[in-house]
Every structure is written in structure tokens, then in C-alpha cells.
Copies of this chain bind each other. A is one copy, B any other.
Amino acid sequence: MQTHKKSISEITSSLRDKGMKMTQQRRVILDVLRSTKQHPSAEWIYNQVRKIIPNVSLGTVYRNLNTLQQEGLVLEMNYGKGQSRYDGTVEPHYHVRCIQCGRIDDVEFDTYDHLHDQVESRTGFSISEHRLEFSGICPDCTKSV
């Protein structure tokens, strides 16, 4: 794991090439998300960003998370009916989620990209990615039962 992440200035210029701006809000949202090992919700990110830009709006957080996702800089994950969770690590990796407290950790694992060919020939789909997610009870929740 621990692959090389694009620097903010690299990102800034690739955004500029598409006529997009690196605003203060966008930069801080990305910074916040990249600097946590949690896989937070939009609201958690919003609260962190507010510590730096007190009058940022939740709408801005959502708009930017969507933009960043389209640019391939952020991943969105949905579980159950609650809030989406976001991940600032876009390099392929897998997740394990606690069905009790919602905690999501990364799993250090070789990825199974070679399965794409098998899936393509069996389904006729042209596969671009896959997600593998384990669920169970985390160590903390195991203790506290």
C-alpha cells in the first residue's frame, strides 16, 4: 500500500487544464479527507473544514466531494441507508467494516485485478473496477459485548 499521492500543486494544475479552480474550500476539503485514516461522512468532513473555514456550507462540501470524485481524486462508498462515506485514497485497496459501530479500516491485500478478464468473458461486460469489502465485528466492539 502507501502508494504515491498526487500533490496539491499537481492537482491544482490538472484542474486548471480543465478550466476548474482550486479554491480554498476545495483544497481544505481534500486535505481533511486525505489526512484521516477514517473513512468519514460528508458531515464529519464539513465539521472539520469549519474549524478552518468557519462559514463553509455543507452544500459546498457535497459539491466538492462530487467534483473530486469525478476527477478520480476521491472515492465514495455507500452502506445501508445512512450517510455515504468518503475515502481520500484512490489507489486500489479493500475495506473491512464493523457492522456494529460503522468503523471502516483498510485491508492490506494484493488486489485481484486478474479477475477482470474472467468476469468479462463470463458476463460480456467491460470491467473497469471492482470492490471487495468484508464486514464483521471490530476488535473494540468485540471487547465491549
Contact = CB atoms under 8 A, between A and B. Distances in A.
Interface residues of A, number: 37
A119 interface: yes
B84 A105 contact: no
Interface in A72-86: 76, 78-81, 84
Contacts of A56: none
A113 B80 CA distance: 22
Copies of this chain: 2
A128 to B, nearest CB: 5
A124 interface: yes
Given A125-B134, A126-B136, 5 more contacts: A96-B125, A99-B128, A123-B134, A131-B131, A131-B132
16 contacts: A76-B80, A96-B119, A96-B125, A96-B127, A99-B128, A105-B123, A105-B125, A107-B119, A108-B122, A123-B138, A125-B134, A125-B138, A127-B134, A128-B136, A128-B137, A129-B135
